[in-house]
Amino acid sequence: MKIAIVGAGIIGVTTAWELVSDGHEVSVFERRGAAAEEASFANAGVVAPGYVTPWAAPGMRAKVLRSLLSPHGAIKLRWPLSSRDLGWMSRWQKACKLETYLANRARMQRLAFYSRTRLHEVTEARELSYERSDGYLVLLRSKREKKLVQPGLEVLRAAGSVFKEVDADEARRIEPALNADTALAGAIHLPEDEVANCRQFALLLKWEAEALGAQFHFNCDIAPLSRAEPTSISLASGSPPLRFDAVVVCAGLASASLLRPLGLRIPLAPVYGHSISAPIRESLNAPRSAVMDERYKVAISRLGQRVRVAGSAEIGGSLGTMNLAAVQTLYKVLHDWFPGAATLQSGVQQWKGARPMLPDGPPVLGASGVPGVWLNLGHGSSGWALSCGSARVLADLVGGRDAGVDLEGLGIERLGQ
Ligand SMILES: Cc1cc2nc3c(=O)[nH]c(=O)nc-3n(C[C@H](O)[C@H](O)[C@H](O)COP(=O)(O)OP(=O)(O)OC[C@H]3O[C@@H](n4cnc5c(N)ncnc54)[C@H](O)[C@@H]3O)c2cc1C
């Protein structure tokens, strides 16, 4: 089939790879000058399927309120909120009901475990070499945090995650550079989870897809799809339509506006986050893999010769305006755990990205209901962890095959379309 993909973030690139591997003629259209320039650019890189859970969860409302009152709180609202953000928050609140949360969590985790397996298969098959490390350590600063995390451990058990509760000494053996002066009550160690450079992987897989014949067209801002010819692609600035047998929308946050003329209402909203990436000054003082500070919800990742610190969740605001308080929290948490690990005087990359979030958690995969138009979008805070599996699922569905994972609740019907 002749297939167009809109968007070359991690979701578009992995989708291109799977479709071209299946023998399709694939063209990818991307408005930026390179792949993975938006949400997939500088994320934390964590692949921890047991922790892939919806943010719409029971008790979240209280957590949000507490966070808003704390200077280093992970969640921030930027006023004024748009009507889109308010509508999204109202749907998000409804999805916090226990049964809805449990169903969405199961959907996301199934896909996440499947995705990790596919990530390893693709990496091995193509002998891809990118910055990555094994293991994930969730740091618990106090006895209270150790207690609060217990229901989460049940979730990990139920999901089949391999993990161990460890005391502070053991945590410091796993990550020897952890600052001895910062209180640590214990940690959760997940040896089978990992951290890896999402953007680097996307660029490598793009080359692999090109080697199989996929064509990438950059600086091509695609116009919203048209009801008259939904599988034709035109530039937003105006151009004759290019006709395809199928179009796959992988445009992250922009997917909603691309699909609106087809009568599809996708409730996507940006949940902004920040990261800083700095060159390692002394390897012995740097993390070996990834740690997550449970109190501040900040991840510190080892990516080759750099350390990346990522976190914060901001609703409202804009991509162009850094939230300085959120960035300060990243520096604080880095300093708390790995002082002296990184050179912070120069060469630090500060980044703000927009997680393309659906209010209830899971992405939307599969047929759109409009013939020839397919969806792979809305991966929120876990797009890297879900990418390889989502792409394989999409390719199987386009090819008329059963997917290798249960897809209940991942279709567009979930959104009431
Ligand atoms: C601070 C932070 C930390 C994160 N940490 C993690 C993590 O540890 N693990 C994890 O799994 N996930 C993490 N994420 C989430 C992850 O980064 C996203 O879920 C993922 O990158 C989304 O990928 P995507 O391809 O859907 O979107 P994008 O990467 O945004 O790609 C969409 C692409 O579509 C293009 N596009 C849009 N409209 C058009 C158009 N009209 N024409 C042509 N092209 C178009 C855009 O330019 C863009 O390149 C994090 C996110 C943030 C912000």
Range list for CATH 3.30.9.10 in the chain: 59-96+132-194+269-357
Share the mean pLDDT of the chain.
96
Whole-angstrom distance, CA of residue 235 vs CA of residue 250: 16
Nearest ligand 1 atom to alpha carbon 384: 11
C-alpha 24 to ligand 1 mean position (Å): 24
Distance between CA 398 and CA 303 in Å, rounded? 35
Residues with Cβ within 8 Å of 86's Cβ and at least 6 positions away in sequence, in order, are none
* Class of the domain covering 1-44+98-130+197-267+360-417: alpha beta
What distance in Å separates the CA atoms of residue 131 and residue 137, rounded to the nearest whole number? 18
- CATH code matching the domain that covers 59-96+132-194+269-357, chosen among 3.30.390.50, 3.40.50.12140, 3.40.1790.10, 3.30.9.10: 3.30.9.10
* Ligand 1 centroid to residue 183 C-alpha, Å: 35
Ligand 1 centre and the CA of 178: distance in Å? 31
- For the chain, give the percent of residues with pLDDT over 90: 90
Centre of ligand 1 to C-alpha 28, Å, is 15
Give the lowest-confidence range in 62-66, 308-312, 405-409: 62-66
Which residues of the chain form CATH 3.50.50.60? 1-44+98-130+197-267+360-417
Measure the CA–CA gap between 140 and 165, rounded to whole angstroms.
10
Taking CA atoms only, the protein residue closest to ligand 1 atom 16 is 383
- What is the per-residue pLDDT for 349? 97
Predicted confidence at residue 157, as pLDDT, reads 93
The residue whose C-alpha atom lies closest to atom 41 belonging to ligand 1 is 222
**Is 298's pLDDT higher than 80?**
yes
What confidence score (pLDDT) does residue 416 get? Answer: 87
Q: Is the pLDDT assigned to residue 417 strictly greater than 80?
A: no
Kindly give the distance from the C-alpha atom of residue 405 to the centroid of ligand 1, in angstroms, as a whole number: 23
**293 pLDDT exceeds 90?**
yes
Ligand 1 atom closest to residue 385's alpha carbon, by position in its atom list: 11
Using alpha carbons, select from 108, 101, 13 the residue that is nearest to residue 57.
Answer: 101
Minimum-distance ligand 1 atom for the alpha carbon of 273 = 1
**Residue from 5, 17, 28, 30 whose mutation best tests the ligand 1 pocket (most atoms within 8 A of CB):** 30
Kindly report the number of other CB atoms within 10 A of residue 96's CB atom: 18
Residues 6+ apart with CB under 8 A from 117: 389
- Report percent pLDDT > 70 for the chain: 100
pLDDT of residue 261: 98
Q: What pLDDT score does 155 carry?
A: 87
Reported pTM: 0.98
Instruction: Evaluate whether 376 touches 391 at the Cβ level (below 8 Å).
Output: yes
Q: Provide residues with CB under 6 Å of ligand 1.
A: 6-12, 29-32, 36-40, 43-46, 220-222, 250-252, 254, 258, 273-275, 310, 353, 355-356, 379-385
How many CB atoms neighbour CB 58 within 10 A?
A: 14
Other beta carbons within 10 angstroms of residue 164's beta carbon come to 11
Ligand 1 centroid to 39 CA: how many Å? 3
